[in-house]
Amino acid sequence: MATLQVQRPKKPVYRRGVVACRKCAALISVQKLNALADEFSVQCPRCGDRGHYAKRAIKVEELPERRNKPRR
């Protein structure tokens, strides 16, 4: 007899993109990955250098959800 397996819902995941600064190699986080153009410009929070980066240079990090309260 076949039995159905109930799958648990996956824990919510927070995704962010990260690029490395060309000058000081600090990690710069990027939100709204789907809305970015093929080339974009961001400012480094550490050294203040503004660089142009390609969308393919983004590394995606998956982190656990940061909220303590569930969404309504």
Mean pLDDT value of segment 25-44: 91
CB atoms within 10 A of CB 26: 13
Q: How far apart are CA 68 and CA 57, in angstroms?
A: 31
**Percentage, residues of the chain above pLDDT 70:** 75
Model pTM score: 0.66
pLDDT digits (tens, 9 = 90+) for 45-68: 999 999 999 999 999 988 777 666
Q: CB–CB of 26/47 below 8 Å?
A: yes
What pLDDT is stored for residue 8 in this prediction? 62
Q: Answer yes or no: are the C-beta atoms of 52 and 37 closer than 8 Å.
A: no
